[in-house]
Amino acid sequence: MKQYFDFSGKVALVTGGSRGLGAAICRALAEQGAHVVIASRKAENCEELAREIASQTGRRTLGVGAHMGKWSDIDRLVEVAYSQFGHIDILINNAGMSPVASTSVDTPEELFDKVVAVNFKGPFRLAAIVGSRMAAAGGGAIVNISSIGAIRPQPAYAPYAGAKAALNAATEAHAFEFAPKVRVNGIMPGSFRTDIAKHWSPDKEKNIVSALKRYGEPDEIVSAVLYLASDASSFTTGSVIRVDGGRP
């Protein structure tokens, strides 16, 4: 049977990669042969996971501390990754934050700016830099992790929903900008059982409105990421896939 997800010799950069969905994605890419650069705000967490994955898979790994809302950190991250590996073949823009506010009028400007920076400004910049380098080098795949909130917004997280909607728009724009060599796609996850879910109300999952009536498990987003990052999706670009358990 054809090996659809063979990333041997490929280098993947995953932001927000030290925990939750990002960590599951990093492990899966390495298990399928990719060398992995793991980036998030806390360098020690990235380095710890990088050592763990390297020990388990034998792949080359690198943990880098970088704030995805700051373009100077993003520029440094890209230079470090290219200096260590020489190329990036896969970019997973996974870093994000989704704080809530009681009302829109009570949303502080600092919180608004931070949410937009991490969820849109940073991924836009990173995709722009890496995508242009990929195009010049002959190819690559970018996967932006958006949110079902982009098309199902709620008052409590309006800035987050707006930032993710903007990321969806940038996904399509970059798909055209870096075509035909680089493919750019997105995924809109629903509610997943990550460490963030520990802070949610115990009744939230029981009352969740979705066809599958449960949270997703981190591993359940992996197959969609592998598909969009691989040559198996060679005729797919500018698309945003829902992985949300069937949210109405």
Could you read off the pLDDT tens digit of each residue along the chain, which spans 248 residues? Answer: 467 899 999 999 999 999 999 999 999 999 999 999 999 999 999 999 999 999 999 999 999 999 999 999 999 999 999 999 999 999 999 999 988 888 999 999 999 999 999 999 999 999 999 999 999 999 999 999 999 999 999 999 999 999 999 999 999 999 999 999 999 999 999 988 877 767 677 788 888 989 999 999 988 999 999 999 999 999 999 999 999 999 98
Query: Which of 162, 83, 89 has its CA nearest to residue 119?
Result: 162
Query: Which of 115, 119, 99 has its CA nearest to residue 15?
Result: 119
Query: Residue 40: beta bridge partners?
Result: 65
Amino acid 1: pLDDT: 44
Match domain 11-243 to its CATH number in 2.30.29.30, 3.40.50.10490, 3.30.420.40, 3.40.50.720. Answer: 3.40.50.720
Q: Where are the domains of the chain?
A: 11-243
Q: Is 160 helix (H, G, I), strand (E, B) or coil?
A: helix
Q: How far apart are CA 229 and CA 34, in angstroms?
A: 11
160 has catalytic annotation: yes
What is the β-pairing status of strands 11-15 and 240-243?
Answer: unpaired
Q: Which of 157, 160, 215, 227 is catalytic?
A: 160
Torsion, Cα 182 183 184 189, to 10 degrees, reads -140
